[in-house]
Amino acid sequence: MMRFFQRLGKSLMLPVACLPVGGILMGIGYWIDPSGWGANNLLALLLIKAGGILIDNMAILFALGVAIGMSKDQEGTSALAAIISWLTVQTMLGVGVVQLIMGVEADQVPAAFSKINNQFIGILCGLIAAFCYNKFHKINMPDFLGFFAGRRFVPIMTVLITLVACIPLYFVWPIVYSFLVMVGETILNLGPIGAGIYGFLNRLLIPIGMHHALNSVFWFDVANINDIGKFWGTMDGGVMGQTGMYQAGFFPVMMFGLPGAALAMYHTAKTKKKKIAGGILLSAALCAFFTGVTEPLEFSFMFLAPGLYIAHAVLTGLSVGIVAALPIRAGFQFSAGFVDWFLSFNAPFAMNPLLLLPIGVVFFGIYYVVFRFMITKFDLKTPGREDDDTAAEMNIDIGNSDYAAMAQVILEGLGGAGNITSVDNCITRLRLEVKDRLLVDEKKIKSSGAAGVIRPGKTSVQVIIGPKVQFVADEFKKLVK
């Protein structure tokens, strides 16, 4: 089950990675025409609408991403099946068909069916498509039906299975929708306190990859909150001073708080390990500041010092709650880094984004003090404070030409190619399945320069690499083959 959720989380990162492009286009468009939002300038209109295409169709992108990511060999047929599944659900559970089934007027159809084009349904369609591909893409048929054998059979089964899935969805989806709306409205009605609770849960769920499900409720259109879409003006219903409250408070944490934590970990590292720890922490801190990608830094202490991670989740909740209580709003398309902060200045519902800077400086200090105190007080084994003496072995320079060397060391630490059963990667992690967990040598793996190693299951191993994981993964796959 854990492996399933890990793969699902990785699959969702594929469509989420599309968002920076939309953010850049829309941010430039709003800078050109901050008052008319494209009404006063043709170039601004083109940029804003082009960027909005990604946000408005995120559910379809989720279906495609999940189908590709969850299929055995990431073959394009799974993506075609996802589109077919998506179109089937949108038709069979759309207001028009449900109206005929219920025998009522369109305005009497439950509101849930007008919101069937959401990320939750997108993920479900992606899972159906991936299941059909994995199950049927090698199926044999009699000679007279040979044309429909193999991959051509996948779309056929996708339609049939999706139709079957629509039956329980007809009854279950209104209940699920009502529950999501209730959760969203409950937190929404709590104002800044609710925003703080959301911020806390957002970080707390990252280790198991389920923060995406929570985010879809508040950032997208699952429960009609759609904080991202409304903030950027791609969806109606935004409220000045309210829209953006589930985004703005993340900027002080990702741009300042986590870099402050990285500095604390560097200052408390053992003298002989400062250079190695500094290289890891500096690159991770810069990644968090500029792009808002925090996994390389968070995973560097998440499992080494879980108490620190809980403190990080609490501080994130405080930041989100405090900023939500102030007349400050900023938003993002990808994550709460410098690039998105800068580009959101002229978004329709931006408010005093520059005030996030002094708040960020305060959180930099808070994170530094809290992390340094907890590390020294409880002797937490953060990067550079491990009890082992393998610092001399951690000397691989991860330059543009050393990915192969890093992959080789990681493979040796995993027990060799014969011990590997599955290789995959997400935006920051090399995800692997091994035959014999006892052959895994974490010290050897860390000697490659990896930020950390986590073992979420008996045969599952994740190696934290950072944003350049794709290059290492490519070299690793060559070695395994």
Q: Are 242 and 337 in contact (CB under 8 A)?
A: no
Report the relative pairing of strands 452-454 and 460-464 from DSSP bridges.
Answer: antiparallel
Which residue numbers are catalytic? 426
**Which residue in 347, 432, 302 sits closest to 10, CA to CA?**
432
Cα–Cα distances (Å) from 120 to 215, 227, 418, in that order, read: 11, 16, 38
Q: Which helix (H) or strand (E) holds 20?
A: helix 19-32
As a whole number of angstroms, the distance between CA 305 and CA 207 comes to 13
Cα-based distances in Å from 169 to 47, 129, 155:
37, 16, 20
> Cα separation of 217 and 135, whole Å?
31
Residue 208 CB neighbour total at 10 angstroms = 12
Taking a C-beta distance cutoff of 8 angstroms, is the pair 238, 349 a contact?
yes
Q: In whole angstroms, give the CA distance from residue 10 to residue 69.
A: 7
Q: Are 55 and 61 in contact (CB under 8 A)?
A: no
Phi, psi of 179 (to 5 degrees): -65, -45
Residue 466: name the closest of 411, 423, 405, 425 by CA.
425
CB 166 within 8 A of CB 89: yes
Contact 257, 362 (CB under 8 A): no
C-alpha span between 296 and 429 (Å, rounded): 8
